Structure 1
Amino acid sequence: MSSSVPENVHRRRWVILGVLMLSLLIVVLDNSILNVAMRTIAQPAPTGLGASQSELEWAINSYTLVFAGLLFTAGLLGDRFGRKRVLLFGLVVFGLGSVFAALATTPGQLVAFRAVMGFGGAFVMPSTLAILVNVFERDEQPKAIGLWAGGVGLGIAIGPVTGGVLLEHFWWGSVFLVNVPVVLVALAAMLLAVPDSRDPDPGRLDPVGVLLSVAGLVLLVYGIITGGRLADFTDPEVLLTAGGGVVVLAAFVLHERRSDHPAIDVGYFKNPAFSAAVAAIALVFFALMGVTFFAVFYMQSVRGFSALEAGLLMMPLAAAQLIFAPRARLVVDRFGAKAVCTGGMLLVAAGMAAFLLFGRTTPIWALEVVFFLQGAAMAHIMPPATVSIMQSLPREKAGSGSAVNNTFRQVGGAMGVAVLGSLLSARYREGIEDRLERLPLPEGVRHAAGESIEGTLAVAARLGPAGRELVDPAKNAFIEAMHVTVVGSAAVALLGALVVAVWLPGRQPGADGDAAGPPEQDITKPPVGAGR
């Protein structure tokens, strides 16, 4: 074993990984739990909070906005002040935000406390990966990152199941309060088992760069969210905010290139192993998050499954990731990261295209097979791409690398939900508009009914027998809109395959296992990862 990781840390590295995965799981799981609780929170008190559609959207978006905006800054702070300290801080804030969210009495309070949870989550996510890189030797990092990526998939998939079980037995706030005991266990385990690490020579602070990154990311993500909410990306508000975000981020890049103490060395993006892997993660999450968004409506609104049943039906997605992600390194050893990631992207595209065959009576086992294949594809994209990113950087910059990885993943996912969601909404409205115009509905009600299949079915239920003629057309219109949307998802996945195939480095001549290509880092540098 090299001297870059102290012996006492090396011996307990797998215990440390388990603690890091617990911290990661609670943050990822909570987001997917909330999707199940939306319908309950919309109901009047005391069952829910009587939240409107806009308030429900902001309960999700306030978290996303703060989380994405601060990921990069949180990674930098971890490198400078210690990743363990930053992670502990994030867990405490996330836990407190969960308590207050569970006890919220108005939709406005829920939105505010979700933002607090997003603030805490931003300090947890990049620190877990940065600590992992500093407690595992380079040759074991692919296996450890595979398990880490499997934890992300597990959290996304079991969230709806957990939320469904909680909502069947407790009030809506239980989906947040369940975080608290897990956070307490994670805090205790972190204090006992996990060492601290930081950049031994962080240099001077770059407050201008930090402020530009936060402002640019917040504006960009806000514009994306607004475009999805309005289903119109040409709206002036969208163009001003998203466009302003792009301009500010361009100013951030220029500032970093000219600064003698940059927050991040943008020269890293000149390395194909880094930039192609970052692009691959953004594109695959763009495609998959959009599909997850409409798959929930397909299962519940079209096929009639409950929230809990829909969550259980998505379990193959998690099972495949748990099975294949830790073993992805073995496939990479044999074929190289370029071939494995390209194949994974092509499999994602094929999974999207398979939805073109799905209708109202498609056997449910076919959906399960597609979910399993998509999970297997993700398991062969995320680990090698993440390894490529993290091993392209010096170990002392692990927080920055992790933050870039997670920022592109989050922004890609937000764009997927917004762009594909607005495409789905627009095509659905086209398909159902004629039917709605035949009914004597007020203009406001007709507009709300055309926004989504849920809106149409809600109006149909209120109309009683007269609304029954809306049910079948609504389901047919959704199926047609879904088919159009999956073509967009498949196209994005194919673009990702092209990016990886062209730019991600292939196997080096004589290489045995490290397909990403960057050379071994200099282990004569000051050791990072010792418990301090």
Structure 2
Amino acid sequence: MDRPPPHAPRPAPDGAPDDGAPPSGGAPGGPVREVPPEVHRRRWAILAVLMLSLLFVVLDNSILNVAVKTIAGPPPVGIGATQSQLEWAINAYSLVFAGLLFTAGLLGDRIGRRRTLVFGTVVFGAASALAAFADSPVELVAYRAVMGFGAAFVMPATLAILMNVFERDEQPKAIGVWVGAVGVAIAIGPVLGGLLLEHFWWGSIFLVNVPVVAVSLTAVALIVPESRDPAPGRIDPVGVALSILGLVLLVFGIIRGGELADLTHPTALLPAAGGLLVLAAFVVHERRTPHPALDMAYFRQPVFLAAVGGITLVFFALMGVTFVSVFYLQSVRGFSPLQAGLLLLPLAVTQLLFAPRSRLLVRRFGARTVCAAGLLTVAACLAAFAAFDTGTPVWAVELVLFAQGAGMAHVMPPVTVAVMQALPREKAGSGSAVNTTFRQIGGALGVAVLGSLLSAVYRGSVEEHLGALPPGARERAGESVEATLAAARRLGPAGEALVAPAQSAFLSAMHVTVLCAAGAAVAGAVVVAAFLPGRRPPEGGRAPEARDAPREPVAGRGPLGSD
């Protein structure tokens, strides 16, 4: 049976900035929890440490994005990973990460967020060192999964601690800085990855995490306070197992369909359908169990649901297109990993610049308008990729990436605030887990769905040009543009005839893929435009900043009511 809805939020006090999201602070009518003075005084130093912890989690994925072409190369340059193995190297991390976030968030609420942060950091650092010396794609996928296990305890702890060291009126600003830290990591990752790949072997992109982890552990021990939920929930092992199994089956089926260029093949269709059934069982279980890993009652709040939907769809589009753009820049345009990393800088730098200040636009125009406009900007930029070819000026690529980053910078902070302030402060670990879980699910499905679509369209376009290859080599060469170019290099001068058709086939596949990604971003804009709060008209005697403060819930409506 359904449980009663989660704690209803109270309106913000007059003059307190709300940014269109419901407040935290406990049950209705309860006392407002104050941050201890000694913690309040060092809150920005604590945020800096949390940003460092966030850095290595995000840095790892952004570095890997520029290294996929190198890892796909034959030994000793790479380890000969196929496109599907590269997708699994990315998704093994994301799936374990997403599947364990619920439990990691609950454990943080129960035993202490700093403890889970330290534990996750140690596991992540050890797995990074092992991944650096992987001898095969299978080993790399396995170590990436362990890294995802560690990251599952790091990411939600950082946001949960943030919510417990900042008072409510400063939380939107702090969350904007937290989201901007993601931009820093995204900006540093490709450039650092390119530098490492130019001077060291591919494993250095993982080994670089180790010193960052060591510094982070020291800083956490010295500065970050402990916090926990005084009335924590119990662990839900059945829910965790169902979520992991369902996601793995679903993504495996999608990737397998991309490998075969046939999503209806039994080896693709059956796992995907089984994954959907297991995820449906997960939802039923979570609705019935008294101690759910994910409280489904939260999703009856329209604002919460819209924010989660926006997070999922924007990361679905972003991660899928980032995966595609690396091959465009390196395999088609011929840029080195370092050059490709530098070219991706505008996508990240704009988030660093604009994310911390997005709250000002939200305060003026409302979360609905700002987020919808941001998502439509992202959609337009993704659609612009459909016009890219081998001769597109670099300045045009950079302009599109700059605008795309600016769009994202005005989506992620408001929706994160909406998710986190929908729950009481003592449930910050659970709220952070939900926020990060759907972000990772969106990213994992983006890589799987859009990567598989890219592979399927590419194979269909390039197969007619592979007749000169032996049958076994022909099948492998048709899997990706990098595989085709590698086959062309092995043929010597005779392989030159394959280069132009391979690049043309990739561009055709990329154009289809980015238009699908743009459609996902448009869907996200529709969702947030329908349910996120808008800018309310002035009310007598109320401060402008409080105009978006939520009303008390009424029967049949979400915590903010509906406009």
TM-score where L is the length of structure 1: 0.91
CA RMSD of aligned residues (A): 2.3
Q: Structure 2 vs 1, CA of residues 212 and 112 (structure 1 numbering), >3 Å: closer, same or farther?
A: closer
Please name the residue that 1:499 is paired with: 527
Please name the residue that 1:457 is paired with: 485
Please state how far the C-alpha of 1:230 moved relative to its aligned partner: 4.3
Please state how far the C-alpha of 1:241 moved relative to its aligned partner: 3.0
Please name the residue that 1:436 is paired with: 466
Please name the residue that 2:476 is paired with: 448
Amino acid at match of 2:335: F
**SS of alignment partner, residue 5 of structure 1:** coil
Q: Structure 2 vs 1, CA of residues 250 and 56 (structure 1 numbering), >3 Å: closer, same or farther?
A: closer
Please name the residue that 2:352 is paired with: 322
For structure 2, the residue ranges without an aligned partner over 5 or more in a row are 1-15, 17-31, 554-563
Please state how far the C-alpha of 1:210 moved relative to its aligned partner: 3.6
Please name the residue that 1:252 is paired with: 282
Please state how far the C-alpha of 1:229 moved relative to its aligned partner: 4.5
1:168 matches 2:237: no
Q: Structure 2 vs 1, CA of residues 72 and 206 (structure 1 numbering), >3 Å: closer, same or farther?
A: closer
Distance 1:482 1:249 in 2: 30
Distance 1:263 1:55 in 2: 30
1:86 matches 2:86: no
Question: Which deviates more, 212-221 or 62-71?
Answer: 212-221
Please name the residue that 1:158 is paired with: 188
Distance 1:425 1:154 in 2: 31
Please name the residue that 2:513 is paired with: 485
Question: Which deviates more, 122-131 or 209-218?
Answer: 209-218
Write the mapping of 1:352-501 to structure 2, written as runs, cut at 5 A: 352-437=382-467, 440-501=468-529
Please state how far the C-alpha of 1:220 moved relative to its aligned partner: 3.5
Distance 1:332 1:149 in 2: 15
> Does the aligned pair in 2 maintain the 1:5–1:137 contact within 8 Å?
yes
Distance 2:544 2:316 in 1: 32
Please name the residue that 1:32 is paired with: 62
Distance 2:115 2:546 in 1: 32
> Does the aligned pair in 1 maintain the 2:84–2:255 contact within 8 Å?
no
**SS of alignment partner, residue 466 of structure 2:** helix
Please state how far the C-alpha of 1:30 moved relative to its aligned partner: 0.9
Please state how far the C-alpha of 1:518 moved relative to its aligned partner: 4.3
Please state how far the C-alpha of 1:8 moved relative to its aligned partner: 1.0
Please name the residue that 1:528 is paired with: none
Q: Deviations over 1:9-57 (max 9, x none)?
A: 1111111111111111101111221233344445555554455555544
Amino acid at match of 1:299: L
Q: Structure 2 vs 1, CA of residues 345 and 254 (structure 1 numbering), >3 Å: closer, same or farther?
A: same
Q: Structure 2 vs 1, CA of residues 3 and 373 (structure 1 numbering), >3 Å: closer, same or farther?
A: same
Distance 1:191 1:327 in 2: 30
Please state how far the C-alpha of 1:433 moved relative to its aligned partner: 2.4
Q: Structure 2 vs 1, CA of residues 421 and 47 (structure 1 numbering), >3 Å: closer, same or farther?
A: closer
Write the mapping of 1:16-31 to structure 2, written as runs, cut at 5 A: 16-31=46-61
Distance 1:461 1:48 in 2: 16
**SS of alignment partner, residue 194 of structure 2:** helix
Amino acid at match of 1:93: V
Distance 1:214 1:50 in 2: 28
Please name the residue that 1:313 is paired with: 343
Question: Which deviates more, 86-95 or 206-215?
Answer: 206-215
Distance 2:546 2:521 in 1: 24
Question: Which deviates more, 442-451 or 223-232?
Answer: 223-232
Distance 2:242 2:88 in 1: 24
Bigger fraction of residues in helix: 1
> Does the aligned pair in 2 maintain the 1:337–1:384 contact within 8 Å?
yes
Amino acid at match of 1:290: G
Q: Structure 2 vs 1, CA of residues 390 and 503 (structure 1 numbering), >3 Å: closer, same or farther?
A: same
Please state how far the C-alpha of 1:268 moved relative to its aligned partner: 0.8
Q: Structure 2 vs 1, CA of residues 514 and 385 (structure 1 numbering), >3 Å: closer, same or farther?
A: farther
Q: Deviations over 1:268-315 (max 9, x none)?
A: 101111000100111111111121111111111111111110000000
Question: Which deviates more, 374-383 or 250-259?
Answer: 250-259
**SS of alignment partner, residue 277 of structure 2:** helix
1:189 matches 2:190: no
Q: Structure 2 vs 1, CA of residues 51 and 283 (structure 1 numbering), >3 Å: closer, same or farther?
A: closer
Q: Structure 2 vs 1, CA of residues 356 and 110 (structure 1 numbering), >3 Å: closer, same or farther?
A: closer
Q: Structure 2 vs 1, CA of residues 484 and 497 (structure 1 numbering), >3 Å: closer, same or farther?
A: same
Question: Which deviates more, 375-384 or 175-184?
Answer: 175-184
Amino acid at match of 1:465: P
Aligned pair partner of 2:160 in 130, 136, 146: 130
> Does the aligned pair in 2 maintain the 1:62–1:118 contact within 8 Å?
yes
Q: Deviations over 1:422-469 (max 9, x none)?
A: 2222222232222223xx321122222222221221122222222212
**SS of alignment partner, residue 134 of structure 2:** coil
% identical aligned pairs? 68
Question: Which deviates more, 291-300 or 512-521?
Answer: 512-521
TM-score where L is the length of structure 2: 0.87
For structure 1, the residue ranges without an aligned partner over 5 or more in a row are 522-532
> Does the aligned pair in 2 maintain the 1:95–1:183 contact within 8 Å?
yes
Distance 1:54 1:284 in 2: 23
Distance 2:258 2:303 in 1: 32
Higher relative contact order (CA 8 A, sep 6+): 2
Please state how far the C-alpha of 1:471 moved relative to its aligned partner: 1.6
